[in-house]
């Protein structure tokens, strides 16, 4: 599992990619609001699945061994559920914000792939 910096870099990069790729979506009314929402979606979905590891590294309130089952639960149960919810928003309920939901799904998928292939070396890397 990658540390904080790779997840932040991935979230910021996805924000820039989404803002550039969907630039037609960000034209017109509420441009700033849409861009802030995209930034929140990309960064939060890049970081939130690792909230338990973040808790361990920042507070050491519980041991790593105690928090690891919750970390695994967050990845293997909550990530697929969140992707299904975003897909429902994308195709069924809130289709006018498609670029936001697509970038959210990509952020979660990239988070999972980074955790799968990158080795953990501590809080930041």
The pLDDT-based confidence of 106 (bands split at 50, 70, 90) is: very high
Spatial distance between the Cα atoms of 4 and 10, rounded to a whole number of angstroms: 10
Determine contact, residues 97/36, Cβ cutoff 8 Å: no
Mean pLDDT of 40-63: 85
Task: Work out the pLDDT band at 122, boundaries 50, 70, 90.
Answer: low
Q: What percent of the chain has pLDDT over 70?
A: 94
H or E element in which residue 44 lies:
helix 31-47
Tens of pLDDT, residues 63-85 = 888 988 988 888 888 888 988 99
Tokens of 46: 């890049």
Query: Does 121 score more than 90 pLDDT?
Result: no
39-50 pLDDT tens trace: 999 999 888 888
Cβ burial 49-78 (10 Å sphere, 16+ → b, else e): bbebbbebbeeeeeeeeebeeebeebbeee
Within 13 Å and on the Cβ side, how many CA atoms surround 12?
A: 6
Least Cα distance to 1 among 85, 43, 39, 57 occurs for 57
Handedness of CA 14, 15, 20, 26 (dihedral sign): positive
Does the pLDDT value for residue 125 go beyond 80?
no
pLDDT score for 113: 86
């Amino acid at each position: 599992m990658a540390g904080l910096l790779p997840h932040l870099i991935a979230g910021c990069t996805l924000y820039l990619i989404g803002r550039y790729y969907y630039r037609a979506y960000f034209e017109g009314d509420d441009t700033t609001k849409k861009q802030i929402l995209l930034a929140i979606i990309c960064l939060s979905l890049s970081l939130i699945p690792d909230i338990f590891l973040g808790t361990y590294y920042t507070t050491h309130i519980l041991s790593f061994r105690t928090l690891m089952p919750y970390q695994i639960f967050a990845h293997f149960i909550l990530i697929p559920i969140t992707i299904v919810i975003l897909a429902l928003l994308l195709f069924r309920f809130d289709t006018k914000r498609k670029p936001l939901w697509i970038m959210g799904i990509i952020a979660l998928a990239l988070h999972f792939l980074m955790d799968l292939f990158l080795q953990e070396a501590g809080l930041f890397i």
